[in-house]
Each structure stands twice: as C-alpha cells, then as structure tokens.
Amino acid sequence: MTARTRRVRRIALAVSGALAMSLSVTAVGSAGAAAETFTGTCTDTVELPCSASAGQAYDGYVIDASGNDFEAAVEAVLSEAVGPYADVSALERGLTRSSGDFQFTPNDVTRGQRFDWTYTGDAANHAYVTVKAANGFAVFGIAGQTSGTIDVAGLLGGHEISHLSVWSTNVSQTTPIKATKLHGKPKSFLGNMRLGKITKGTVPCLHVETAESATCKFGRKSGKWLESTKGPFAVTGQAVTLDGKPGGEYVTATKISPDGTVPGLEPTGNDTAGTPGESETLDGAAIIEDMGAAYNASGRDLVNYATLEVCTSSYPHPDGTPLRSYYWTGSTYVFCYVGTGAGLNDPNGTERDAYGNYYRGSEYSHVTMSPDYYETPAAKRPATIPYPYPGTINRESPLVWRPVSTVTIAND
C-alpha cells in the first residue's frame, strides 16, 4: 500500500446464503495470440470497465513498461476513473484458476477473453478485479456483487489473459446526482449527502441495531427527499418505519454500485433553485466501518467532540477517551465519557470539532454496510431501544459501529 493511502482491512460481515459460481470462456483465435501491445482506454473514459497500458499516466503515476497491476497502479487508475480517494488492498493476487473464495469456470482462465466468477467469502468490501494481459491490465467493478461475467474483449487488444487479481476497499465514494427540486428544509440538504433511490414508493432501509436490510415505504411525508433527472431519491440515515412513517426501527439506505460508489447530492457552487452551495458540502468519500466493531477501519482514533456524556459497558474506551465517571446498575458497571472521541452519532456519519464544525477529509466520514451491500451513515455508539419513538439508550451495551440512530447520543 502506498504512503498516501490508509490501511485497508477486510470487513468481516456474514454473506447470507450459499453462493455458487460458474465460468465460461470464449476461445481466443490466432489474431488474439498475435497481439502484443494495446492502448489503454481509461484515459478516455470515467467509467468502468476500462484498461490501462504501459507508459500511460494516471493521477501522477506512470504505468510501468510491463503494464503490471501493482496496487499503486490500480489506485492511480481508479482515482481518475472512479474518484480521487481510491484506496484498495489485495484479496487475491495473480490468480489463473479458482482459488479459495473465488471460483472460475473453466478453472483455467488464461486462454480466454471472457469468464464468469462467483465469490463465496465473507468480506463484503470486495470491489474490483484487474485482468492482466500483454502490456497492461483492465479494471472491472464488482462491488455489491457475488457473481458475474468479465469480458475483456476490446479492452486488452485480444491478447490472452496472464492473470487476474481481486481488490477490496474501505472507501465509499459518491456519484453526483443533480437535484431539480428539494423536499425538506433547504438548509438541511448538504452537498454529497448520500442518497437512496426511491423506486415505486419504496427505498432500501436497514434495521438501526442489526443492519438487517429491508424495503421501507417512502412517501412525500416520510422524510427528506429530492427530485432529479434520474428520478426521486431519499437522503440516507433517516429513521422510518416499514410502512413509511417518520421515526421507527429502520434507517434509509442506498445500494452500492459495482464501481464502489453510491449516489450523492451534487454541490452546485451556489444556492439557487434551493440546491446546496460549495460551502455547504460533506466530503465526497467515507470510510466503510465494520458493523459491530470497536476498532476503526482507518486505524486512527475517533476525534468527534461529544458535548453530551456517552455511557456504555465499554472500558477502557476503544478510542482512548479518559473515563469521566462510572456506576453500578445492580448487574453490571456502566462507564461514562465526554469530549474528544467519546462517541459519534451524526446523521451524516461525520465527525465534528468542539465548536460543532464538521472536519474535512474522508477519514472523518463514516458509513456501515449490511451483509447484502446496502449502506447507511455509521455511528459509534451504544445500542438503543428505538421504539417507541424517539427511543432510549441501552447504557449496558458496548460502544461499537452501528447504523446512525435518531436517539440523541454524543451531540445534540
């Protein structure tokens, strides 16, 4: 991993159901065998799949003479094709046949241009596949998927596949959605707010404690939403019931796209037409936190300044916050903290300083993910009892990453 990137871990979330995999390969003819070099396409597109070749420069990085899919090379290509915060780590390197959690059909993929794949592991943040051939490699997005087809025809000059590698990420980036009309208090809409697609009056949602995914009704009075040329979207992290009433045991969520991005409200540079200006923006990327974990994916301690006391069963504090007080409930000890790093429960999953201002930088923004690849803003907090609304805090529970809650925790 390069010095500019953060440490990437696998997010160990249980993937539901048994997964099967099949692969089919199309034979390469003599023309494919004859091809020795090709020119990468990632310089001409901002979408995956695309390819990169020797000598091309991406984000200041020049692909080496052999066109190797080194980690730094893959991150550089993704920084231009997907977004500037690309951060990957290898799940598997140099595969030519089925291995571990990745199954291919046929088993040997080095003599074809097309193959199917299936993933049977428990790392929910596998995101990209690179396919090496000749003097470069192709990049495919597989985020949020457990099976699919990869076809390199037209990307690698017809050359036979040398090997492939699979990459995970702990960074979620936004793809801009331009609003045509906002529904809700205009000042509550911030640029890069994450959005869930409203389809036939429903939106993806996650249980506020378990992160189990569901489909919630979402109408005009369910919460904040917007109209766009790509259809209606709801702001993620809003509490709703399954039947679409405000408040409840679920929070609105969004589905991760194959390229590892989610929809986000586009900042416009001004506040005309009720859309947010550049000064009213969140970061365009966020760290994917491991649901139920006390540690942080970035490897750094939480610095959100909690103005309210956070009481939990956790001691010592996972982020090093000094103990303020403790008491005995009759069955267990409860430990209370306040100030820097004490906890986080922000509707946008973003940390604040002592003056209530958002910190800038993707390392200060957090999301969490369900086992089936739905995302919502993350909170590092004790558990809650969300019903009846507005809910209460379970102070006898650990301080870990969970979906954001509408219960007041850490900050007003």
Q: Tell me: the pLDDT tens digits for 142-155?
A: 999 999 999 999 99
| Of 272 and 101, the one with more pLDDT | 101
Q: Collapsing DSSP states into helix, strand and coil, what is residue 30? A: helix
Instruction: Give me the DSSP letters along 99-159.
Output: BTTEEEESSB-TTBSEEEEEE-SSBTTEEEEEEEETTEEEEEE-TT-SEEEEE-TTTSTTP
pLDDT number for residue 20: 31
pLDDT number for residue 304: 98
For residue 167, give both structure tokens: 């990459």
Instruction: Give me the DSSP letters along 234-266.
Output: EETT-EE-TTS-BSSSEEE-EEPPTTSEEEEEP
pLDDT number for residue 170: 92
Q: Is the pLDDT of residue 108 over 70?
A: yes
Q: Locate tokens 């005009």: which residue?
A: 220
Q: Which helix (H) or strand (E) holds 78?
A: helix 71-81
Share above pLDDT 70 across residues of the chain, in percent, rounded to a whole number: 89
**380 contacts 400 by C-beta, under 8 angstroms:** yes
pLDDT number for residue 121: 85
The mean per-residue pLDDT over the stretch 50-60 comes to 96
Largest CA distance in the chain: 78
Residue 144 CA to residue 81 CA, distance in Å, equals: 18
Q: Is the pLDDT of residue 10 over 50?
A: no
The mean per-residue pLDDT over the stretch 82-86 comes to 90
Q: Is the pLDDT of residue 342 over 80?
A: yes
Q: What is the pTM of this model?
A: 0.86
pLDDT digits (tens, 9 = 90+) for 303-321: 999 999 999 999 999 999 9
Confidence of residue 34 (pLDDT cuts 50, 70, 90): very low
Residue 365 CA to residue 346 CA, distance in Å, equals: 10
Q: What is the edge-to-edge ordering of all strands in the sheet holding 114-119?
A: 102-105, 114-119, 147-151
Confidence of residue 386 (pLDDT cuts 50, 70, 90): confident
Share above pLDDT 90 across residues of the chain, in percent, rounded to a whole number: 78
CB atoms within 10 A of CB 247: 17
Q: Is the pLDDT of residue 255 over 60?
A: yes
pLDDT digits (tens, 9 = 90+) for 203-224: 999 999 999 999 999 999 999 9
pLDDT number for residue 36: 78
| Of 135 and 18, the one with more pLDDT | 135
The mean per-residue pLDDT over the stretch 190-198 comes to 97
In terms of Cβ atoms closer than 10 Å to its own Cβ (0-12, 13-18, 19+), residue 332 is exposed
| Of 72 and 83, the one with more pLDDT | 72
Phi, psi angle pair for 256, to nearest 5°: -75, 135
Q: Which residues face 331 on adjacent strands?
A: none
Residue 292 CA to residue 48 CA, distance in Å, equals: 32
Confidence of residue 118 (pLDDT cuts 50, 70, 90): very high
Q: What is the edge-to-edge ordering of all strands in the sheet holding 225-228?
A: 179-183, 225-228, 233-235, 195-197
Residue 304 CA to residue 401 CA, distance in Å, equals: 14
- Taking the chain, what is the end-to-end CA distance rounded to the nearest angstrom? 38
Q: Is the pLDDT of residue 226 over 50?
A: yes
pLDDT number for residue 123: 73
pLDDT number for residue 31: 38
